[in-house]
Amino acid sequence: MSARHGPGRGRPSPPPRKLIDRLYDPRWRGVAAQVLVGALLAWGMFEVAANVARNLEAQGIASGFGFLDRTAGFDISMSLIPYANTMTYARAFFVGLTNTLLVAALGIVFATLIGFSVGIARLSENWLIRTLAASYVEVIRNIPPLLMLFAVYFGVLKNLPQPRDSLALPLGSFLNIRGLFVPAPLWQPAMWIVLAAVVAGCLATWLLHRHAARELDRTGDRPLVWPWAIALVVLLPAIVGAVSVLAFGPLATFDMPTPGRFNIAGGISILPELVALLVGLSLYTAAFIAEIVRAGIAGVPTGQREAASALGLSTGQTLRLVTIPLALRIIIPPLTNQYLNLTKNSSLAVAIGYPDLVSVFAGTVLNQTNQAIEVVTITMAVYLTLSLMTSVAMNRFNDRMAIKER
């Protein structure tokens, strides 16, 4: 095409360039500068690490990650994975991690539910609802989260009965200041058959749904799916369950909570610390989410809604098909921030005695091993990873919700 692309054709190839020429080539210089800065940065980080290692050795402080294999020797009040004090520090780390994940995941769900409700309530036509929602937001988001946790925690403790006056609830459950105690199911093998039936039902429903969408594209008519979906997801496992109960006996036996010398023993206990942390974090974050939701809905141009009603969509359809999809595009990016904040704020758990990662690992394990640098580095890496993972998931969601330009 052009002479630049064909040095061998007609024109002589340019002479080999000298180094001094390259200094005047902005592209070459740009690359060289970046390589130089990159190398300096790498060298700087290496020096920092080496300096830390040198000083640790000079001060006689132990280092390395070998401690993770040593016996932990302490108990943890709540664990989602099997744990005993004879297990390793690495195991204790995972107990703390799962406890943090539990709070973060449940907190995000609750905060979203409360936040969306309050945010929509702020736009209500009803004066009372609108004002209540507005005062909730203004009060809650102006209180430091730590104070909120203390208030909720000691508020919860004040109102729960002492172990000896435990409140007996239906189904063999108990409630007292040590937590809510519910029967713990011990799954029997027959349960796996039912579980398999549930999975198969969901899979079949999904396939059916895809088929229906294709039919809609092809013929313009969508076959009725939901009666089949209910049959597959609910009835199928129920029938399979009934049959397997008759054939193999009960799906699960229960470890019932029973009053002991100090407290209720057995069953699953839901700690007041967990409840207080969840309530505190959810209420706090929900106040911010409510504002984001309100802003998102208010940010949808009125013309869009008017156009929707001009097309003959009902109020519900307008909300579902026009307002919310448009509002979501405004809501999702700042919502991600709130999810990250909630996850990071969950580290306040240590203040009210909930055994999260910071309490178990950056607290007890650090105290026992004295290896602050390793423990704190691992803990920071965990929070960084959690935040990045949340970000990635939310960005994916955002991409799906963004305007598709065709």
Partner 1 sequence: MKPEAFHAGAITVALAAVLGVLGAINEPAHAQGATLETVKARGVLQCGVSTGLAGFSSPDDKGGWKGLDVDLCRAVAAAIFKDDSKVKYVPLTAKERFTALQSGEIDLLARNTTWTMSRDTGAGLTFVGINYFDGQGFMAKKSLGVVSAKELSGASVCVQTGTTTELNLADYFRSNKMDYKPVVFEKLPEAIAAYNAGRCDAFTTDVSQLYSIRLTLGKADDHIVLPEIISKEPLGPAVRQGEAQWANVVRWVHFAMLNAEELGVSKANVETMKGSDNPQIRRLIGEEGEFGKALGLDDDWAYQVLRLVGNYAESFDINVGAKSPLGIARGQNALWLNGGLQYAPPIR
Write out the residues near partner 1 by the rule CB under 8 A.
Answer: 26, 29, 33, 36-37, 40-41, 44, 47-48, 51, 55-56, 58-62, 73-77, 85, 150, 154, 157-158, 162-163, 177-178, 260-263, 265, 272-273, 350-353, 355, 359-360, 363-364, 366-368, 370, 372
Q: How far is CA 184 from the centre of its chain?
A: 25
Choose between 215 and 255: whose C-beta lies nearer to partner 1: 255
Strands (E), 271-362: none
Signed CA dihedral, 320, 110, 104, 336: sign only = positive
Choose between 47 and 306: whose C-beta lies nearer to partner 1: 47
Q: How far apart are CA 93 and CA 101, in angstroms?
A: 12
Minimum separation from the CB atom of position 354 to partner 1 (A) = 9
Q: How far apart are CA 15 and CA 21, in angstroms?
A: 11
Choose between 157 and 186: whose C-beta lies nearer to partner 1: 157
Choose between 29 and 344: whose C-beta lies nearer to partner 1: 29
User: In whole angstroms, how far apart are CA 321 and each of 66, 98, 297, 301, 309?
Assistant: 56, 38, 13, 14, 11
Q: How far apart are CA 54 and CA 316, in angstroms?
A: 67
3 three-state secondary structure:
helix
Minimum separation from the CB atom of position 351 to partner 1 (A) = 6
Minimum separation from the CB atom of position 30 to partner 1 (A) = 9
Minimum separation from the CB atom of position 36 to partner 1 (A) = 7
User: In whole angstroms, how far apart are CA 58 and each of 1, 50, 165, 270, 294?
Assistant: 67, 12, 57, 47, 57
Choose between 334 and 363: whose C-beta lies nearer to partner 1: 363
Minimum separation from the CB atom of position 234 to partner 1 (A) = 39
Q: What is the DSSP string of 175-189?
A: EETTEEEEPEEEE-T
Minimum separation from the CB atom of position 163 to partner 1 (A) = 8
The half-sphere exposure of 318 on its side-chain side, counting CA atoms within 13 A, is 17
Choose between 205 and 269: whose C-beta lies nearer to partner 1: 269
Choose between 127 and 262: whose C-beta lies nearer to partner 1: 262
Minimum separation from the CB atom of position 54 to partner 1 (A) = 9
DSSP 142: T
36 three-state secondary structure:
helix
Minimum separation from the CB atom of position 266 to partner 1 (A) = 11
Choose between 23 and 311: whose C-beta lies nearer to partner 1: 23
Q: How far apart are CA 295 and CA 228, in angstroms?
A: 40
List, edge to edge, every strand of the sheet that includes 173-176: 167-169, 173-176, 179-182, 268-270
